[in-house]
Homo-oligomer: A and B are copies of this chain.
């Protein structure tokens, strides 16, 4: 299948591009490389050194004989994007090309506006490009479980049947996103839904949980192919922060009570979910929503897990609590459906202590690249 991976230089996009290429798909990458620029802006870096995209692709060709084409440009540049679509004529587009950090979007007004404009306009351009140039192309869009927020009812996969005053309908699940970034994904979801209903486009919106792990079979083949490993307050996740803190002997910093519960997924399952979505496309006119995660954890549970395995790597980790810089419930009900991808064939890799130990050893090996003053929260929601 001819597939474009938008955002193919990023943490999820890069391993996805390699995975699809390894499985015989004809892959090209569209990426503006702006994620590397944000590292420069914030004074941060990936704990694993990442190589230039051109070098990565050359190495991949040398090792496997497989060619991944690249187009360096921005989805908000419509002329660029339309040229790429006309040239590549993709049958599937995987769309990771968005600003994906909640704290980045909450730095200030400019970053909020940038995040929403960047994400919404990039996705709108993609929708118009598909309609005008490759209308049969299946769009696989990365959304987030964070679109739902933490309602007091079970979260379903995108839609919910509502019975009300003697009538019923199946309607989009109500959204209560928790940051300017999460809001941008909700905006995208509504825009995509409209284009499917109105133009007959076929799309799958993967409401992904928090991704953990770093390497896949392909990125681990060579240091030039290594994936990003972000531990800073802006682009790192809570689990990555705990790993980095354990590596450098800092207490594990839980925001608030730590009862914040979310869905999680391993990077090796992310790339498999994308493949499954592409192999089983949505129908014309359909916006299909899958909740793409495999397990639920609270932040406090994750800190305890990391503290538990730290001694295996020669570290002692204590857990401490910080005032929560975010505005979110830290004790709440949370139960989200996630069976659709399993029904398509996903066999989940669950969080085990061996993986946590591997992550911690990796962080220890590259400990000099962990920037201690970038771990603690400075971006505040209020």
Contact = CB atoms under 8 A, between A and B. Distances in A.
Interface of A: 78, 109, 112-113, 116-117, 120-121, 124-125, 128, 151-154, 160, 162-165, 167-169, 171-180, 183, 186-187, 190-191, 193-194, 197-199, 327, 333, 381-382
A108 to B, nearest CB: 8
A174 to B, nearest CB: 4
A320 to B, nearest CB: 25
- How many copies of this chain does one complex carry? 2
25 contacts: A109-B125, A112-B124, A112-B128, A113-B121, A113-B124, A113-B125, A116-B187, A116-B191, A117-B120, A120-B187, A151-B169, A153-B162, A153-B163, A153-B164, A153-B165, A162-B174, A167-B333, A171-B174, A171-B176, A172-B175, A174-B174, A176-B197, A177-B190, A186-B190, A197-B327
Nearest to A179: B194
Contacts of A78: 109, 113
Contacts of A197: 176, 327
A176 to B, nearest CB: 7
Contact of A183 (B112, B121, B191): B191
Given A160-B162, A167-B154, A193-B176, A198 B381 contact: yes
A197 B182 CA distance: 14
B153 A167 contact: yes
Contacts of A174: 160, 162, 171-174
A78 B169 CA distance: 41
Given A160-B174, A186-B190, 11 more contacts: A112-B128, A113-B124, A120-B187, A151-B169, A151-B171, A152-B168, A153-B163, A171-B174, A173-B174, A187-B187, A199-B382
Contacts of A176: 171-172, 193, 197
Contact of A116 (B120, B151, B167, B180): B120
Given A124-B116, A194-B183, A382-B199, A154 B164 contact: yes
Contacts of A199: 382
A342 to B, nearest CB: 19
Contacts of A117: 117, 120-121
A243 B179 CA distance: 46
Contacts of A169: 151-153
A194 B177 contact: yes
Nearest to A78: B109
Nearest to A326: B198
A198 B180 CA distance: 11
Contacts of A333: 167
A153 B167 CA distance: 6
Contacts of A173: 174
A41 to B, nearest CB: 19
Q: List 8 tightest A-B contacts by C-beta distance, closest first.
A: A171-B174, A152-B169, A109-B128, A153-B164, A187-B187, A198-B327, A172-B174, A153-B167
A113 B381 CA distance: 28
A179 B198 CA distance: 9
A167 B190 contact: no
A128 to B, nearest CB: 4
B171 A165 contact: no
A98 B221 CA distance: 52
A219 B162 CA distance: 45
A172 to B, nearest CB: 5
